[in-house]
Copies of this chain bind each other. A is one copy, B any other.
């Protein structure tokens, strides 16, 4: 019928008709293939533009078996880390023209598994950060050929491409810094004992002390409240330390607040250090010595690796370790008991 009005979304057929070519040529022109004349390409592109044509991604992915989308599966994370990671991944994804399907806040392995399954078929690859996931969960819920990169997740018994934070090294560096600035009784407030990061940080602390000093550990759980409790315990106890290394910054902030209330001066009486370098670490009084991880960068690099896997590169043996950087601030200044 002549003079017909387009009621529906235009398809490639409409574009082809308007450009007076076959759908095959329209497809080729649209996709930037080189087996079309320049004249054809121009006509097709003009037609597409005038119709405000956009390909149906479902149809395309049905033919190409690609979705140009990657999934990001996250656990229930605290604010800063979470958003920095998404930011880093998102920027890298956008640069490569990949879309990002995000799912967060998964409390246990079951939830994570459900999400993995629901993403199967929607994505070309998966970025997974989940402390709950193990080899079985991975094997049961994903196709073997779906590229996947693990973020800071220890998956027992599986060799998968992963980005690991060197928690041991970071904790070691922080502790050595305290030792070398003259502190003689360095306590550690740990994270949850079941948490792998937490275990590694504690091990780094203990190894750094090895021989020179006895270790002094109060168990915490990465929360501010646990930092408060631990600080009170340490200060009022019989083994008062002259330095505290908290397993993360949030815990260190708890220590700081409690020490302040107890009238203990930081760093003069007790030096303090954390881990992560959350933005808040710069803002406390005094500001906080810590080990910095560039989360956004970590996310971006992980996406690059995943993208390589999607492109068909063999990434199965790739595994990168991110080394935290010691950031010395005022909370650990001066000399401690031994003077400086």
- Is A58's CB under 8 angstroms from B55's CB? no
Residues of B within 8 A of A48 (CB): none
Query: In A46-63, which residues have CB < 8 Å from any B CB?
Result: 54-62
Q: Can you name the residue of chain B whose Cβ is closest to the Cβ of A285?
A: B285
A33 in the interface (beta carbon within 8 A):
no
A90 nearest CB across to chain B (Å):
5
Docked pose: A77 CA to B82 CA in angstroms:
13
Kindly identify which residue among B87, B103, B121 contacts A104, using a CB–CB cutoff of 8 Å. Answer: B87
Q: Can you name the residue of chain B whose Cβ is closest to the Cβ of A82?
A: B83
- Is A57's CB under 8 angstroms from B283's CB? no
A133 nearest CB across to chain B (Å):
17
- Is A62's CB under 8 angstroms from B69's CB? no
- Is B122's CB under 8 angstroms from A99's CB? yes
Docked pose: A87 CA to B104 CA in angstroms:
7
A257 in the interface (beta carbon within 8 A):
yes
- Is A102's CB under 8 angstroms from B102's CB? yes
Interface size grouping (class) on chain A: 35 or more
Residues of B within 8 A of A17 (CB): none
A189 nearest CB across to chain B (Å):
17
A79 in the interface (beta carbon within 8 A):
yes
**Known interface pairs A57-B58, A84-B79, A285-B285; A99-B101 also in contact (CB < 8 Å):** yes
Type the 1/0 row for A59-82, where 1 means its CB is closer than 8 Å to any CB of B: 111100001010000000101101
Docked pose: A322 CA to B282 CA in angstroms:
32
**Known interface pairs A83-B82, A285-B285; A54-B117 also in contact (CB < 8 Å):** yes
Docked pose: A99 CA to B73 CA in angstroms:
12
Kindly identify which residue among B9, B58, B283 contacts A61, using a CB–CB cutoff of 8 Å. Answer: B58
Kindly identify which residue among B9, B62, B102 contacts A90, using a CB–CB cutoff of 8 Å. Answer: B102
- Is A62's CB under 8 angstroms from B58's CB? yes
A120 in the interface (beta carbon within 8 A):
yes
- Is B280's CB under 8 angstroms from A122's CB? no
Residues of B within 8 A of A224 (CB): 283
Can you list 16 A-B pairs, Cβ within 8 angstroms, ordered by A? A54-B121, A55-B121, A56-B121, A57-B121, A57-B122, A58-B60, A58-B67, A69-B101, A77-B83, A80-B80, A82-B83, A82-B87, A90-B102, A90-B103, A94-B103, A101-B102
Sample of 15 more A-B contacts, CB < 8 Å, known A80-B80, A99-B119: A9-B143, A54-B120, A54-B121, A55-B121, A56-B62, A58-B62, A82-B87, A86-B102, A90-B105, A99-B122, A100-B102, A101-B102, A260-B285, A283-B284, A285-B285
Q: Residues of A at under 8 Å CB distance from B?
A: 9, 54-62, 67, 69, 77, 79-80, 82-84, 86-87, 90-91, 94, 99-105, 115, 117-122, 143, 224, 253, 257, 260, 279-280, 283-285
